Chains A and B, each alone.
Chain A
Amino acid sequence: MTDLAPPLPGYVRTKLVDPFEIFVGPVFETGAPGSRHFIFRVDERHVNGRGVLHGGMLMTFADLALGAAVWDATDYAPSVTLNMHTQFLKPSRAGDIVEVTPVLTRKTRALVFMRGEFTVAGEPVFTAESVWKLLGKD
């Protein structure tokens, strides 16, 4: 069963609106807008036949967390992901808690550049960089 309780004290459930994010979630967060820290607990739905966390779940979590940080940085302007570059550093397994604090690399009038280093128990497991387009801005 999916555990809806925060896996660590001090976290609240992130409000998700996209059906695919709700489907793979829950995700939890702590901290103020602009410096939010996101976590999720790997469960049986997220792993492959070898018990290893699927890259598709990590990339979905990255899109969600970095996208939330873009929202925070743009006063909730609508935006879309243009590109995501990822590196898979180390396998994770069910029960692991994956964490990230997205970092704003640069914001221009039309674009936001984000990055995140994802860790499990303090060790880097995955990195993502993404470029976001603010809709209606040239």
Chain B
Amino acid sequence: MPDGAVNVSLGGFNRFVGPLFRLPETAEDEVRRFAFIVTDKHMNSGGTVHGGMLMAFVDIAMSQTARAVSGAKSCSTVSLNCDFVGPGRLGDMIEARVRVTRRARTMVFMSAELVTGDRPLLVATGLWKLPIES
């Protein structure tokens, strides 16, 4: 993991499938970055990363982003659409790049891509609900 990476998988399902990290922000970009290293438990029998793990990881990265931009303590995924555009492999560092399309009062619209190096693995769009008090 790069210097400054922070473990964001401290409990529950996130910890179970993790460790997962938030990467330090770079000055000019609008993108929030997260990463994990593919280990044996994340694989399918065909030698590539299981789609369920890729969807779980992008869901976690987008949820963390929704909380970060809103200050909300919690949020809920309402819908998520994922295109699987390439396979991940054992040992890959898979990075999530999350962008907020629009933040409304109780809703956050986001898009994200998962990459390893310059190679895209998954693209996603999704909708999150914030609690009323946030």
- Which residues of A line the B interface, CB within 8 A? 17-21, 23-24, 45-50, 52, 54-57, 59-61, 63-64, 78, 80-88, 91
Q: List 29 A-B contacts (CB under 8 A).
A: A18-B50, A19-B43, A19-B50, A20-B42, A20-B52, A46-B13, A47-B12, A54-B12, A54-B59, A55-B63, A56-B52, A56-B55, A56-B56, A59-B55, A59-B59, A80-B84, A83-B81, A83-B82, A84-B51, A84-B82, A85-B79, A85-B80, A85-B81, A86-B77, A86-B79, A87-B78, A87-B79, A88-B80, A91-B76
Q: Nearest Cβ distance between residue B134 and chain A, in whole angstroms? A: 14
Tell me which residues across on chain A come within 8 A of B40, comparing CB atoms: 19
Q: Which 6 A-B pairs have the closest CB atoms?
A: A56-B56, A60-B52, A20-B50, A54-B13, A18-B44, A59-B55
Judged by a CB distance under 8 angstroms, whether B31 is at the interface is: no
**Contact status B50-A63, CB under 8 Å:** yes
Per-residue interface assignment for chain B, residues 49 to 76, with 1 indicating a CB less than 8 Å from any chain A CB and 0 otherwise: 1111101110110010000000000101
Which of chain B's residues has its CB closest to A59's CB? B55
* CB-nearest residue of chain A to B63: A55
* B contact residues, total (Cβ < 8 Å): 34
Q: Which of B12, B52, B74, B84 is the one whose CB lies under 8 Å from A24?
A: B52
Residue from B12, B41, B56, B76 within 8 A of A59 (CB atoms): B56
Given the complex, which residues of B lie within 8 Å of A60, measured CB to CB? 50, 52-53, 55-56
B56 touches A54 (CB 8 A): yes
Contacts of B59 in A (CB 8 A): 54-56, 59
B2 in the interface (beta carbon within 8 A): no
Tell me, in angstroms, the Cα distance from A24 to B41 when the chains sit together: 9
Q: Is the CB of A19 within 8 A of B42?
A: yes
